Amino acid sequence: MLANANRLTPYLFLLPAVAVMVVALLYPIGYMIWASFLDWNPSQRIGEADFVGLRNYFNLLGDAAFHESLWVTVKFAVLVVGIEMVLGVGLALLLDRELRGMTLLRTVFILPMMIAPIVVGLIWRYMYHPTVGTFNRILDSLGLPTAPWLSDGDWAFASVVIADIWQWTPFIFILSLAALQSLPKSAMEAARIDGATGWQLIWHIKIPLMMPVLIVTCLLRLIDAFKVLEVVLVLTNGGPGLSTEILALRISRTASEFRELGYAAAMSNVLLILLLILTLAMFLYTKITEARAARVRAAIEEG
């Protein structure tokens, strides 16, 4: 009896967390999945909406605006994460040394990450302002032609990308720096004695050893970039045209402006599936590395 109770104790402690998960996560997701099969507008209660099966999903297949949004989102995510990885890792490699004032410098570098996304959007909107914005005033004072930062489709996309890079490069920077500083010092020294130059040290030793951290960081950032909303909402609200209308924005507009809750739910599910694939990729990666580590341990115990 007592043994039985002991076995159940851990689950008892897990119960509150499970309850919260069910209410806060599983219920809304279930709700969303159900809603995606309905033709539902906000004036109806969910029970009154018509069941339409997979029609919302079929409509998505032929919806050019949705395709455009999806493409903008993928383009955005791949571009920002790619540039952020290069910049973040590069900065970490540069700043991984003991210099006076380095602690302060590192703190300054990670400031953008601490600012609320809405505020980031506002700051950049003012800086991008066509007449009083920082950038155009600088260009103007140098006698250069000013740029249509937010009013031209291509420029607007670039502006959003720049703002996101500004905000999220620090994330990659601090994780890379932590990874760098935990690398075995003596392996680096051995490489120097073996004749490696600074660049060779980075290519042959540092980057390969940081790789596990870099892969996870990259996936985390990708997941985040696919869900980006606030900065774009404040900066461009998706425009001009559909040039910066990322998926999250399209979903929110479908629900609030077009009043098609079922259709918005179907889009959300597509986004969810995309993110699930990324998350699964991350889990798969950790599983593979763990399995390799286990094989290594087994090999050592044998030998």
Can residue 205 be called a binding residue for other proteins (CB under 8 A)? yes
Sole window of 85-93, 220-228, 278-286, 293-301 interacting with other proteins (rule: CB under 8 A): 293-301
Query: Are the C-beta atoms of residues 191 and 177 closer than 8 Å to each other?
Result: no
Phi, psi of 65 (to 5 degrees): -65, -40
Can residue 294 be called a binding residue for other proteins (CB under 8 A)? no
Q: Residues 48, 140, 194, 290: which binds other proteins (CB under 8 A)?
A: 194
Query: Are the C-beta atoms of residues 52 and 237 closer than 8 Å to each other?
Result: no
* 78 vs 293, beta carbon nearer other proteins: 293
**DSSP symbols for 101-165:** THHHHHHHHHHHHHS-HHHHHHHHHHHT-TTTSHHHHHHHHTTPPP--TTTSHHHHHHHHHHHHH
226 closest CA partner among 293, 288, 281 = 281
The sign of the CA dihedral 127, 129, 133, 136 is positive
Can residue 190 be called a binding residue for other proteins (CB under 8 A)? yes
Can residue 187 be called a binding residue for other proteins (CB under 8 A)? yes
Query: Are the C-beta atoms of residues 164 and 248 closer than 8 Å to each other?
Result: no
* 24 vs 193, beta carbon nearer other proteins: 193
Q: How many CA atoms lie within 13 A of 50 on its CB side?
A: 6
Can residue 300 be called a binding residue for other proteins (CB under 8 A)? yes
Name the token pair of 12.
């008892």
Binding mask 106-145 for other proteins (x = CB under 8 A): ----------------------------------------
Can residue 186 be called a binding residue for other proteins (CB under 8 A)? yes
Can residue 17 be called a binding residue for other proteins (CB under 8 A)? no
Sole window of 47-55, 89-97, 272-280, 295-303 interacting with other proteins (rule: CB under 8 A): 295-303
* 259 vs 292, beta carbon nearer other proteins: 292
Name the token pair of 217.
């960081």
Name the token pair of 129.
């302002």
Query: Are the C-beta atoms of residues 92 and 176 closer than 8 Å to each other?
Result: yes
Q: Residues 28, 30, 130, 208: which binds other proteins (CB under 8 A)?
A: 208
Helix and strand numbers, DSSP H then E, in the chain = 14, 2
* 4 vs 186, beta carbon nearer other proteins: 186
> Whole-number minimum distance, CB 191 to other proteins, in Å?
7
Q: Residues 83, 122, 196, 216: which binds other proteins (CB under 8 A)?
A: 196
Can residue 299 be called a binding residue for other proteins (CB under 8 A)? yes
Q: Residues 32, 191, 202, 216: which binds other proteins (CB under 8 A)?
A: 191
Binding footprint of other proteins on the chain (CB under 8 A): 184, 186-187, 189-196, 200, 204-205, 208-209, 211, 293, 296, 299-300, 303
